[in-house]
Homo-oligomer: A and B are copies of this chain.
């Protein structure tokens, strides 16, 4: 779509349009709002974004996003070390944290197994999970994967591969609706599903 804005502004619109939920038209509207609020909104937003782009990094232990090699959860002594909650992505970790029901550590897979997309265990953080269970004395692994086909396939794969580890493998209770994604659930549902978790 040709915009007849100055080149610099068109470049900004094109980049904004690559964000989820923003098409070319809504990206243009967003940029117009930014242009109207150059001082109060655009400059601080650019600064905040540059700051995050510069400082954000993946936690080398769990795959969560933080601002140093080990994330705030992995370095929090008050969090239980024997339990790992396995989630697909950082959005799901945030959803779990908002529910406030889990006090252990996480492991972020970075996606789900998908034959279609050629994503096998090595494309996810599954080997690292296996190592953590051996190294960290984990007594329970809670599989908090989405109730989608790929999520459940991945859960079964992980449960199988950990079956000889002596670790208890549980999954969120059926409070999670079929086909539901964690990030869309209310905090209460997530909390209830966690408390009623069952052996996998």
Contact = CB atoms under 8 A, between A and B. Distances in A.
Interface of A: 2-6, 8-9, 11-12, 15-16, 18-22, 26, 28-35, 38, 41-56, 65-67, 72, 89-91, 93-94, 97-98, 183
Tell me how many chains of this kind the complex includes.
2
A48 B28 CA distance: 14
B56 A38 contact: yes
A113 B61 CA distance: 58
B30 A20 contact: yes
Given A29-B91, A49-B45, A53-B46, A98 B3 contact: yes
A8 B89 contact: no
12 contacts: A3-B98, A4-B94, A8-B55, A12-B45, A12-B49, A15-B41, A15-B45, A18-B41, A22-B30, A28-B91, A45-B49, A49-B49
Nearest to A187: B2
Contacts of A18: 41
B48 A11 contact: yes
A173 to B, nearest CB: 22
Interface centre among A19, A22, A32, A50 (most CB of B within 10 A): A19
Contacts of A15: 41, 44-45, 48
Contact of A35 (B11, B32, B65): B65
B21 A26 contact: yes
Contact of A89 (B32, B47, B49, B51): B32
A48 B8 contact: yes
A49 B46 contact: yes
A6 B49 contact: no
Given A19-B30, A34-B52, A98 B2 contact: yes
Given A8-B52, A49-B42, A94-B5, A30 B21 contact: yes
A67 B8 contact: yes
